[in-house]
């Protein structure tokens, strides 16, 4: 079940919060099949410890949303971080599980994300998606076993040091039909970028050759078209499966940067709501590295983008071109 991949307390390198994440389906499913009408699901938060947030009631945690929520709304829910808590990504994973199913049934699409880098520990770049089983084979969700081990060690060391680390998640979308994406504003890469940057703790997005591709010349960067097995393909995939905002049938590949967790156990300088200087050290139970649990969130958001564009494409297809 997708939700278990995001669930806290799943391994030694994640937060020890124990949330059962039991889904109650409220509507849209009838005798085990969908009705076409909206599917509502609910998961109750069962392991709250509001007292753990008493010390931040009037204090702004560094690099958290405490200050901006107060600036925006004039009020904020303190316990558990309120709406700014990354617990909300649970809902994305739940919706994404259905999106993945639709994509699989309607088009055979496969979505595979994994942790490619933790801080400076990086696995070799893959040309095509790894087996999902390799990703799930270790608790850091890196399909390269040796690198995974080093990542896990690093995360454990950092936790002991009461600190945190970030890194990069990479995602492959295989079997996406050519033709998804709109030409101008709702380009497929634009929708993916928005979806990824809407995930808490993200700092960047790149697809295909990404930032590294900007060091190449056009003659080195262009993907030559070739004929292979009766289909038109590209010899290389620096386009990352998207050209002119539209999928070209190659694997869509992109990366998402995640910052080191803002909540750390060390004492930090900050101010309270009146602007007085104060110190703060996190209590509570937090992830020293969000990436392993972010993997299913990245997959879920990618799935939701693809379903949306797939539905648009179906809506447009029947009468074009029209004379």
The footprint of its own copies on residues 254-283 (CB under 8 A) is 257-264, 266, 268-271, 275-277
- In the complex, the smallest distance separating the C-beta of residue 133 from its own copies, rounded to whole angstroms, is 24
Please tell me the distance from the alpha carbon of residue 244 to that of residue 239, in angstroms, as a whole number.
9
- Count CA within 13 A, CB hemisphere, residue 44: 3
Q: Which residues contact 113 (CB under 8 A, 6 or more apart)?
A: 135, 169, 170, 171, 172, 295, 296, 298, 299, 302
How many residues of this chain interact with its own copies, rule: CB under 8 A? 134
CB of 65 to its own copies, least distance (A): 2
64 close to 270: Cβ distance less than 8 angstroms: no
Site for its own copies in 13-52 (CB under 8 A): 26-27, 30, 32-37, 42
| Count of C-beta atoms within a 10 Å radius of residue 268 | 16
Asked if 171 and 299 count as a contact pair (C-beta separation under 8 A), the reply is yes
Closer to its own copies by Cβ: residue 133 or 215: 215
User: Which residue, 48 or 276, has its beta carbon nearer to its own copies?
Assistant: 276
Is 189 an interacting residue with respect to its own copies (CB under 8 A)?
Answer: yes
Least distance from its own copies to the Cβ atom of residue 21, Å? 16
Residue count (the chain): 323
The residue within the footprint of its own copies, chosen from 143, 208, 292, 296 (CB under 8 A), is 208
Closest CA to 164 of 25, 244, 296, 258: 258
Question: Is 253 a binder of its own copies (CB under 8 A)?
Answer: no
Q: Pick from 193, 252, 295, 297: which binds its own copies (CB under 8 A)?
A: 193
In this complex, which beta carbon is closest to its own copies, that of residue 133 or of residue 315?
315
Sole binder of its own copies in the list 149, 222, 283, 285 (CB under 8 A)? 222
Could you tell me the two tokens for 81? 């971080």
- Of residues 69 through 88, those in contact with its own copies by CB under 8 A are 69, 71-77, 82-84, 88
Window 103 to 162, contacts with its own copies (CB under 8 A)? 105-106, 117, 119-120, 158
Residue 232, strand partner residues = 227
The answer to whether 309 and 103 have CB atoms below 8 angstroms apart is no
Q: Does 67 bind its own copies (CB under 8 A)?
A: yes
């Amino acid at each position: 079940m997708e939700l278990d991949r995001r669930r806290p307390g799943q391994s030694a390198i994640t937060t020890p919060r124990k949330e059962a994440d039991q889904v109650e389906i409220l509507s849209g499913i009838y005798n085990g099949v969908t009705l076409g009408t909206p599917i509502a699901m609910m998961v109750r938060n069962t392991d709250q410890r509001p007292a753990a947030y008493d010390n931040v009631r009037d204090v702004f945690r560094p690099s958290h949303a405490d200050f901006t929520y107060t600036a925006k709304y004039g009020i904020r829910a303190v316990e558990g971080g309120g709406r700014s808590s990354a617990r909300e990504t649970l809902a994305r994973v739940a919706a994404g599980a259905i999106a993945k199913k639709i994509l699989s049934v309607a088009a055979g699409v496969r979505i595979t994300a994994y942790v490619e880098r933790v801080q400076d520990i990086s696995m070799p770049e893959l040309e095509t998606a790894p087996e999902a089983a390799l990703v799930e084979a270790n608790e850091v969700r890196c399909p390269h076993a040796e690198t995974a081990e080093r990542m896990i060690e690093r995360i454990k060391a950092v936790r002991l040091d009461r600190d945190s680390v970030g890194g990069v998640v990479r995602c492959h979308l295989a079997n996406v039909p050519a033709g998804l994406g709109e030409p101008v504003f709702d380009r497929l890469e634009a929708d993916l970028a928005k979806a990824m940057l809407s995930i808490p703790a993200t700092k960047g997005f790149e697809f295909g050759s990404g930032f590294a591709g900007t060091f190449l010349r056009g003659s080195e960067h262009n993907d030559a078209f070739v004929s292979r097995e009766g289909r038109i393909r590209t010899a290389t995939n620096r386009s990352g499966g998207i050209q002119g905002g539209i999928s070209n049938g190659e694997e869509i590949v992109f990366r998402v940067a995640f910052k080191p967790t803002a909540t750390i156990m060390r004492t930090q300088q900050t101010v309270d709501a009146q602007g007085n200087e104060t110190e703060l050290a996190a209590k509570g139970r937090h992830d020293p590295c969000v990436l392993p649990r972010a993997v299913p969130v990245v997959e879920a958001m990618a799935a939701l983008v693809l379903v949306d564009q797939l539905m648009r494409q179906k809506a447009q297809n029947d009468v074009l071109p029209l004379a």
